[in-house]
Amino acid sequence: MSTPAPQGRVTQLPALCLCGCGQPAPISTETRAARGQIKGQPARFRRGHNMRTPEGRAAMAARGRAFRARASSSARPGGRKIDREGYVLVKAPGHPLADCQSYVREHRLAMERHLGRP
């Protein structure tokens, strides 16, 4: 005679953070395909722990160098900066295509010069 299976909810052991800290990873509250998270499943890392892996540290170091280089070049008056999409912006006050801070995408200025437009 076999024994009946226990009644109630089956509990699952929490997944551990992949950084190696040994802490349990949180359960995702929503599905985010871009991050590889599925609602109800454990996340890969605890918040902020993804930078504790060698790959995460390398990515952060590379990103930090790029941000420092961009910040120093845009600090000069009439300087250049890079927007979120990666376009180089040049200060051009009064230009018809300028944004609210008087910056225009550099490729547009270059093409205007190439075509001989004022």
pLDDT in tens, 2-25: 555 566 665 666 788 888 888 898
Residue 31 maps to a domain = no
Select from 40, 41, 45 the least CA-distant residue to 25. 45
Interval 88-101 mean pLDDT = 91
Domain count, the chain: 1
Q: Is the pLDDT of residue 37 over 70?
A: yes
> Does the residue 29 lie in any domain?
no
Answer whether residue 72 is part of any domain.
yes
User: By the 8 A CB rule, do 75 and 69 touch?
Assistant: no
Evaluate whether residue 89 is within a structural domain: yes
Please check whether residue 8 lies inside any domain of the structure.
no
Alpha carbon 50 to chain centroid distance? 12
* pLDDT: which is higher, 27 or 68: 27
82, 88 contact by CB (below 8 A):
yes
The pLDDT, as a whole number, for residue 114 is 95
Lowest mean pLDDT across 24-28, 64-68, 86-90, 104-108:
64-68
Mean pLDDT over 72-79 rounds to: 55
CB 40 within 8 A of CB 27: yes
| pTM of the model as a whole | 0.40
| Residue 95: predicted pLDDT | 93
- Evaluate whether residue 26 is within a structural domain: no
Does 109 fall in a domain? yes
Mean per-residue pLDDT, 37-57: 84
Any domain includes 12: no
Residue 99, phi-psi category: left (phi > 0), alpha (psi -120 to 50), beta (remainder): beta
Domain that holds residue 86: 53-115
